[in-house]
């Protein structure tokens, strides 16, 4: 997932983050608002994992395999194996312990060859394509044939794959950041007051987040800024849900 906002910098050294679309509250209980859009294709294993440190049903000295197709390319079988603790201890295992989900993530990341990310998202194992901003960004998970099928071993029936839409279309549909940016740019170039576009799109309530005082979680609603004092308008993107990658 990618979240974005319009960053407005003024000659007085103040910075404002113009944002939209309420998401979950942050650690301080303050509602964060962002433009948010999908930038990478992904697929979930459709299992319940309560934590990386929890034990999985996998066993030692067994080869597990799963087919992972990335961005519509070749179907590649990825095999992983966990030698008994006397020969190798998983990154979060203890001698004589079982295989934890963190070990599975680490092994799957090692055979990714930089083509995908693997992580636990919403209590599920998710494989995410490394490709973004392209319509072909996608993941397809199917049963492996070498050794033991990893999906069967985890009682997994993968969820419906999420294929990324084109970047330009998705960012427009998700938050209409393009239209808002164009409106602000027009106002800025016209001089006078920088009026914020209210009631734009389907979300009438917009919030301007004041960052100049260093208190990122202190929100201040701003109606106008003197356009002659604005020095730059920038669309900033932040990538979320970064998983294991080696």
How confident is the model over 55-69, as pLDDT tens digits?
999 999 999 999 999
Kindly tell me if the per-residue pLDDT of 239 is higher than 90.
no
Least Cα distance to 129 among 72, 197, 205 occurs for 72
Least Cα distance to 139 among 108, 169, 167 occurs for 108
Task: Choose from 95-99, 169-173, 182-186, 193-197 the range with maximum mean pLDDT.
Answer: 182-186
What are the backbone angles phi and psi of residue 151, rounded to the nearest 5°? -60, -45
CA distance 133 to 165: 8
CA distance 95 to 78: 26
152 versus 187: the higher-pLDDT residue is 152
Percent of the chain with pLDDT over 70: 67
198 versus 190: the higher-pLDDT residue is 190
* Range in 9-18, 19-28, 228-237 with the lowest mean pLDDT: 19-28
204 versus 17: the higher-pLDDT residue is 17
CA distance 175 to 150: 38
Q: Which domains does the chain have, with CATH numbers?
A: 40-165 (2.60.40)
Average pLDDT over residues 207-234: 63
Q: How confident is the model at residue 221 (pLDDT cuts 50, 70, 90)?
A: low
Mean pLDDT, the chain, whole residue set: 77
161 versus 6: the higher-pLDDT residue is 161
Kindly tell me if the per-residue pLDDT of 135 is higher than 90.
no
Angle at which helices 167-175 and 177-190 cross, to 10°? 80
CA distance 37 to 242: 15
Average pLDDT over residues 200-211: 43
Q: What is the full DSSP assignment across 69-99?
A: EETT--EEEEEEE---TTT---TT--TT---
Token pair in block for residue 128: 């995410």
Q: How confident is the model at residue 227 (pLDDT cuts 50, 70, 90)?
A: confident
* Range in 73-87, 93-107, 148-162, 224-238 with the lowest mean pLDDT: 93-107
Where helices occur in 19-126 by DSSP H, the ranges are: 101-110
Average pLDDT over residues 217-245: 68
Kindly tell me if the per-residue pLDDT of 74 is higher than 60.
yes
pLDDT at 136: 84
Q: What is the full DSSP assignment across 137-178?
A: --EEEEE--SSEEHHHHTT--PPPPBPPPPHHHHHHHHH-HH
What are the backbone angles phi and psi of residue 234, rounded to the nearest 5°? -135, 140
The answer to whether the beta carbons of residues 67 and 127 sit under 8 Å apart is no
Look at strands 15-19 and 193-195 and give their pairing. Answer: unpaired
How confident is the model over 23-42, as pLDDT tens digits?
544 444 445 566 777 678 89
Cβ-defined contacts of 186-194 (< 8 Å, 24+):
187/227, 188/227, 188/230, 188/233, 190/227, 191/227, 191/228, 192/226, 192/227, 192/228, 193/224, 193/225, 193/226, 193/227, 194/8, 194/224, 194/225, 194/226, 194/227, 194/230
């Amino acid at each position: 997932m990618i979240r974005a906002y319009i960053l407005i910098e003024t000659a007085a050294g103040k910075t404002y983050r113009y944002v939209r679309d309420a998401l979950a509250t942050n650690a301080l209980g303050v509602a964060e608002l962002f433009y948010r859009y999908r930038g990478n294709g992904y697929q979930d294993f459709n299992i319940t994992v309560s934590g990386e440190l929890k034990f999985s049903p996998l066993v030692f000295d067994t080869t597990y395999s799963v087919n992972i197709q990335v961005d519509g390319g070749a179907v590649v079988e990825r095999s992983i194996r966990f030698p008994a603790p006397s020969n190798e201890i998983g990154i979060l295992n203890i001698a004589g312990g079982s295989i934890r989900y963190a070990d599975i993530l680490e092994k799957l990341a090692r055979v990714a060859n930089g083509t995908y990310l693997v992580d636990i998202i919403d209590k599920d194992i998710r494989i995410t394509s490394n490709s973004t901003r392209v319509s072909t960004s996608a993941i397809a998970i199917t049963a492996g044939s070498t050794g033991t099928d990893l999906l069967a071993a985890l009682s997994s029936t993968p969820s419906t794959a999420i294929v990324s839409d084109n970047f330009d279309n998705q960012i427009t549909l998700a938050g209409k950041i393009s239209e808002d940016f164009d409106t602000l740019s027009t106002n800025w170039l016209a001089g006078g007051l920088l009026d914020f576009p209210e009631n734009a799109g389907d979300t009438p309530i917009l919030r301007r987040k004041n960052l100049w005082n260093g208190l990122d979680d202190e929100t201040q609603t701003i109606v106008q800024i003197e356009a002659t004092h604005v020095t730059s308008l920038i669309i900033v993107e932040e990538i979320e849900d970064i998983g294991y990658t080696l």
